């Protein structure tokens, strides 16, 4: 079985980009800033307009526990309810994988709901790891 997070070259296979596309590693970050037991619905991370984003894993750090529920690129919830942070791996070396990948269109948003479970101020970040998927013949985003 292949590791969905490992680069293709380390798995002994060629580029896994779909025909007509180029996948380049990229991550989007969301800053967590919750007060005790606060719920924030409809939070979003905006996707660049130059490329689709294929979300493959999540890492996070936070000062307390929280729960979260994500939507896919078409607005459907990925889980039937909130997922507790204590049930997700949370280190860069052990990310929470999304397999198969979840694709968000260029110019779209990653929508989610997040709730503090710690009862006090909760800060940190969510890191959406994946690839920007460029259509061949377009310029990759230059930072």
Q: What is the pLDDT of residues 47-103, one digit of tens each?
A: 999 999 999 999 999 999 999 999 999 999 999 999 999 988 877 778 888 888 999
How far the first Cα of the chain sits from its last, in Å, is 35
Let me know: does 100 contact 39? Beta carbons within 8 Å. Answer: no
Q: How far apart are CA 105 and CA 133, in angstroms?
A: 9
How much is the mean pLDDT over the chain?
A: 88
Instruction: List the CATH code of the domain at 18-135.
Output: 2.60.120.730
Which residue bears the tokens 């750090």?
61
pTM: 0.84
């Amino acid at each position: 079985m292949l590791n969905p997070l490992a680069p293709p070259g380390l798995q002994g296979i060629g580029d896994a980009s779909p025909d007509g596309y180029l996948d380049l590693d990229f991550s989007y970050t969301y800053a967590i800033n919750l007060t005790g037991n606060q719920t924030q619905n409809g939070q979003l991370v905006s996707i660049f307009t130059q490329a689709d984003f294929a979300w493959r894993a999540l890492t996070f750090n936070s000062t307390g526990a929280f729960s979260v529920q994500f939507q896919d690129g078409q607005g459907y919830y990925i889980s039937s309810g909130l997922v507790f942070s204590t049930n997700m791996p949370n280190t860069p070396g052990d990310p929470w994988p999304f397999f198969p990948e979840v694709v968000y269109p260029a110019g779209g948003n990653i929508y989610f709901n997040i709730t503090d479970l710690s009862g006090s101020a909760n800060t940190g970040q969510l890191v959406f790891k994946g690839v920007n998927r460029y259509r061949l013949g377009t310029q990759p985003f230059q930072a």
